[in-house]
Amino acid sequence: MKRWVVVLLVVLAAVVLVSPGIVGRIAERNLESNLEWAAREAGNVSVSGGSFDRGWFTSEGTRRIEIRNEQLRSLIAGLADLPGNAAAPVLIVSTRLDHGLIPVSSMKRESGSLAPALASAVSTVQLDPGNAEPIAIPGEIVTRIGLSGASTSNYRLDAGSYDDASTHAEWQGADVTVETDSGAASLGLDATIEPFRIESGGRSFSTAGIKVDSELETTQYGFNVGSIEAITEAVVIETPDAPGGGFGRLSFEAGTELVDERVNGRSVMSISDVNAPGLGKVAIDMDLAFEGIDAAYLQPILAAFEQSQTSPAPGEALAAIYPAIREDVHGIVASGAELRIERFDVVLPQGTVSSRLRLALPETDPSAFSWPAVLLALHATAELSVPAPIVEIAQAANPQAGALVAMGLLKKEGDVYRMHAEYAKGLLTVNGAPMPLPLPAAR
């Protein structure tokens, strides 16, 4: 019995003293792959930095995440009072890894644990807005990498505030949890951001809170499918040129799935109390769906779109990339698909403008592709309903708007003007009246 006790003690000692160095390398590679995967999924960011300073029980290192999204770069530069040509903003992530099957060294910190794992890590983040003057982002990210390689990261932020010569920020807290599997092929996100406000250079942004839940999986084609639900409460955006901007509440739900190498999806969005100059408070409700998009052709098109978003002029960049994906565009159209706008309602003080749209493309021979043939194969229907007061206001502001009524494109029915349009085999019918359309010659 004593000999077995000695053997057990030796094994435990080996686990505690020998495993950290071996496991540290495995954990470091896991953390690196997760960070690179997150960068790829986020798009418009790049990860760089030196290697970790690896020790036997602990490792420390820094990674720089450059933000290349032009809209986000412009927003950060504006809040930091930097010129538009400032260097790209960078997130600087500093991480300490405590590794070993039993991470004893983690007990030195408040969130430490002796639960078996490849490693546990604590990361802090700074933001360099582009002037080489990093700003510490409060809070820390605690990550646990399990024995299977799956990881869970949690970011918690207590209530606080920040002030410097040009910026004031205050927040009530945040709790964000991200879970990935061992191959970083699936991601779960649960985020709650409490109310916060940022003021800088006469501009301000505030929200009453944000909630996000998401479950995503990477397909063999490189893009994700899954679901996301997001709610943003009471956003107020103030600028010297446009005071009183923002909206009351935004909710968004979307889901996609891959079935028999085809992608199906649906998204529902609702936004209330949008401040629209000259119109008052506006609400928008939208329900979109698509079915049957060929996944193999979709992948290069999505990659090209993401690449174009790193440019100051995304539209021009996408046009420049188009020749490389022309065959993929032809292929995805020839494969057939259906797009539906189940609902697109704009609620105005004068009434609700409602529209519906359905576009259906049957599968055709990709070797004989031509846009005229696509137009002939297309079947589309559209419906529009506009309250009479809105049409009358438009006619008073622009007499040419009355031509829509005179031509029969809008037909009055009670208190609304309606339009029903259908397109099939090159013929457009609006409110029962046929309207032949000239089609381009086949090429």
Pairwise CA distance, residues 267 & 250, whole Å: 13
Pairwise CA distance, residues 136 & 140, whole Å: 11
Kindly state the tokens that stand for 210.
């944000």
Collapsed DSSP state (helix, strand, coil) of residue 249 = strand
Query: Helices (DSSP H) in 309-382: which residue ranges?
Result: 314-334, 371-377
For residue 298, which of 332, 325, 264, 254 has the smallest C-alpha distance? 332
* DSSP string for residues in 375-415: HHH-EEEEEEEEEHHHHHHHHHH-GGGHHHHHTTSSEEETT
The dihedral sign for the CA sequence 121, 127, 130, 131? negative
The dihedral sign for the CA sequence 345, 348, 349, 352? negative
Collapsed DSSP state (helix, strand, coil) of residue 204 = strand
For residue 65, which of 41, 83, 82 has the smallest C-alpha distance? 41
> By the 8 A CB rule, do 19 and 101 touch?
yes
Question: What's the confidence (pLDDT) of residue 297?
Answer: 92
* Bridge pairing between strands 427-430 and 433-436: antiparallel
Question: What's the confidence (pLDDT) of residue 64?
Answer: 80
**Segments of 277-361 assigned E as strands:** 280-294, 337-348, 351-361
Kindly state the tokens that stand for 11.
């094994």
Count CB atoms within 10 A of the CB of residue 416.
Answer: 20
Query: Mean pLDDT by 10-residue block, N- to C-terminus, for the chain (443 residues)?
Result: 46 43 49 58 59 62 77 72 75 75 50 56 82 83 75 87 83 89 78 91 88 92 91 88 82 95 96 81 94 93 79 74 89 94 93 95 87 90 93 79 78 91 90 74 48
Pairwise CA distance, residues 247 & 285, whole Å: 13
Count CB atoms within 10 A of the CB of residue 228.
Answer: 17
Instruction: Find all residues with CB under 8 Å of 41, minimum gap 6, and list them.
Output: 187, 216, 224
Q: What element of type H or E holds 177?
A: strand 174-180
List C-alpha distances in Å: 357 to 29, 104, 122.
Answer: 49, 61, 50
Pairwise CA distance, residues 94 & 235, whole Å: 32
- What size, in residues, is the chain? 443
Pairwise CA distance, residues 394 & 265, whole Å: 36
- Angle at which helices 19-42 and 2-17 pack, to 10 degrees? 40
Give, rounded to a whole angstrom, the gap between the first and last alpha carbons of the chain.
88
> By the 8 A CB rule, do 395 and 401 touch?
yes
What are residue 437's phi and psi, to 5 degrees? -115, 135
**Segments of 129-223 assigned E as strands:** 135-145, 151-157, 160-163, 167-171, 174-180, 186-193, 196-200, 203-218
Kindly state the tokens that stand for 40.
């790829």
